[in-house]
Structure 1
Amino acid sequence: MATEDLSRADPVPVILAWLRAHPAVTAALSGPDRVGAYSEEPYPRLRVSDVPGGVDNYLTRLVGTRIQIEALGSMDGGPGKEELRRILYVGLAALGELPAADPAPAGPVIVSVRPAQAGGYVPEADRRPRYLAQATVWSHPSY
């Protein structure tokens, strides 16, 4: 396997699909279609992205990707800091279940999820309420 094959270990699409289908996440967000890579209606929602950091091991083909999960509220301030924190931790708990799930039919194999940065309240630049945390997701390309 060539080194460039590590690019096939990107866990973000698998994480998005997992969180979108997770019943506890859907319940916490009060409905479907509220998990994605962008800040867009409807709110509240979870935004998932990869951020700088992590580890690429070319010898073992194991990749540790730093993932940021954000619970976003609406411009009117809803649903409030306490509820956004709860939504964030429901999402993190669901993410923690991913390594025990059956591997996705396509994409990387997720082998571990570890906390990287505790949750905290950091409003968006437009003053939209936001709680965020980071985790390191360890994966390897499917062969």
Structure 2
Amino acid sequence: MISDCNKYVLSQDYPPMIIDIDTYMSTMDSQDYDKNEIAIDQAFSDLPSVYKAELINKFYSCYTDESSSTVLRANIEFCAPILWSVLPKEDRHQIGHRLDQDIVSGNWQKTEKGIEFLISINGLKYVSSSSRRAIFDPPIQNLEQNLDE
């Protein structure tokens, strides 16, 4: 029995440390947050996919929340592209769908922040075509109306 324990359990490496998402978010909302890209990449890469999905959703929610500080938003803008690069497509589509829902809800400020978030992570390709039209048609029409003739 002890030999089996040594062979199958003790011979294995310790699992990587998993970050506590709530603690991590509160650290991100302070000036003490360390923007070490390698450490952030390692922390996000080691996360199970469920935690990655929860973290990207928390990033989106905090970024689009009107009461979020500029420090938190700046740190999310730094971290989100790193997390985005290790996310599966299903989670990327989920965030795009959240922006679709925000556009339909009509909350202009939340929609603007959601668009900024997806632009910062290069994720606008994951929103629906009707949402893309809602985003890009008004500026295009404005440009067309103001053309010099």
TM-score above 0.5:
no
Query: Which structure has greater helix proportion?
Result: 2
Which structure has the bigger radius of gyration?
A: 2
Please indicate the TM-score interval, normalised by the length of the shorter structure. under 0.3
Which fold has the larger relative contact order, with Cα–Cα distance below 8 Å and residues 6 or more apart in sequence? 1
